[in-house]
Structure 1
Amino acid sequence: MNDERRQRRQLLHAAGLAAVMASAPVAAWRIRPDEPLTLSYPKMDLEQQIPEVFAGWRVDRSLTPLVPDPVLQQSVQATYDQNIARTYINDRGERVMVTVAYGADQGAEATQVHRPEICYGAQGFVVRHQADELLALPEHRIAVRRLFASLGRRMEPVSYWVTLGDTASLPGWRRKLEQIRIGLAGKYADGLLMRFSSFGTDTAAAYTLHDRFVRDLYASVAADVRPRYFGS
């Protein structure tokens, strides 16, 4: 019975998405999104809002996260308004590489090309999708995508999610449907890519490390901007 209900819900979701997608081109000429959804939200400032030292973690300037090649980097800079790339280390020598990229308008298709699956692949990595999981935070849970990227001897487990306004999600039709819904209301949403990675072949240990780091970071980001990074 539960399987039947789940299938029925999925069919209804798919039908609703198809209807909205079909009507979107017709409505596009009538409604031009010109108002930010997050107009009343605090201004984003990644450098200031993501602390360099917190909960036993500090920035390790000897190691830089994966940097795109010049062509891809130019595309990233054209797509996102702000981005930071840092490596953090704790007293146990554990390292987590962090990339946060912010775009003021997430309605553009260009944002899709910078998903980690595509970004790592463009650098020559072999990327495998491990799983989509729920990460428990103190006040809610967020969906996180797990990847494993390899290039020669470099093995890099990756965890990431994206945001739309103050909603955390994963790329896919649900996020696209939300983008369309916001656009049909004459608004557009900003959003973030939150990516965490480390070196090693033990993916279970790596993802546990990522989750611990994320929870520490969550507790260290100011409450008024926390939903912008972690959803609500």
Structure 2
Amino acid sequence: MPQTIPTLRVVLIGICMLAAAGLAYAMKPTRQAAGADTFQLETAIPRQFGTWIEQKQQVQIVDPRQQETIDRIYSQVLMRSYVNAEGVRVMLSIAYGSNQSDDLQVHRPEVCYPAQGAQLLSTVNANLPTQWGEIPARRLTTQFGPRHEPVTYWVMVGDRAIIGSLQGKLAQLRYGFRGQIPDGMLVRASTIDPDDERAFAQQARFLQDLLAAVPPETRKRLSGLQ
């Protein structure tokens, strides 16, 4: 049988496929944007600032499966409780991961709270005002039995605070074009309070006081604000 001579169209398609594969390989991130990072949450976050002082927490029992996920995704996790002179108690959690790739993205509270048995009552985007600008944040209300816990949090991908998975993916692409893998951070504050409006106001004041108490370079790492 006579051999079929490849048409010009087939050859061009083959060349394009090879070029696309080569471009995808060339654009694959190969180095972490954070580099040899010396950022340490334990020393970067003060134990006392403004009218807030750390209150030692009782030892919490964590689901082993949840702990395994935390250990895999994050290289540093800080969990503290703070109390002010008025007796307001705020729980602060900051989780940092040096590798914010597709399979190692920060786990958002909308996922973590229900995974631990809590009911997610509401979710709303809200810009958190500070003297340096606004932080795109998210506010949740959660319920675990009689425990009503409003939550304020934001996510950092590289040097920017982002809302939602689409913004996170775009931030990853921005670094990917430079051959870099961004780091990621989740900053979360919560209180046990049946009054959502009061709780969110107290959390905003706490986070504003925290950002005011740290050096500019730490504030930028935590919030993206100059």
TM-score by length of 1: 0.82
Could you tell me which runs of 5 or more consecutive residues in structure 2 were left unpaired when the two chains were aligned: 1-19
In the alignment, structure 1 residue 57 sits paired with structure 2 residue 52: yes
User: What do residues 52-74 of structure 1 show as CA deviations (whole Å, max 9, x unaligned)?
Assistant: 1111111111456x764111111
Query: Amino acid of the residue matched to residue 39 of structure 2?
Result: M
**How far apart are residue 29 of structure 1 and its match?**
2.3
User: What do residues 152-206 of structure 1 show as CA deviations (whole Å, max 9, x unaligned)?
Assistant: 1111000000001221122321221111221132111112100110001111100
In the alignment, structure 1 residue 223 sits paired with structure 2 residue 223: no
Query: Over alpha carbons, which structure has the higher Rg?
Result: 2
CA contact (8 A) 2:121 2:142 kept: yes
Please give the root-mean-square deviation of Cα atoms over the aligned residues, in Å. 2.0
CA contact (8 A) 2:57 2:80 kept: no
1:168 to 161, 173, 179: 161
CA contact (8 A) 1:68 1:123 kept: no
Could you tell me which runs of 5 or more consecutive residues in structure 1 were left unpaired when the two chains were aligned: 1-23
- Aligned counterpart, 1:37: 33
Matches within 5 A, 1:1-232: 27-39=23-35, 43-63=38-58, 68-112=62-106, 114-232=107-225
Report sequence identity in percent: 35
Runs of 4+ in 1 over 4 A off after TM superposition: 24-27
SS in 2 for 1:192: strand
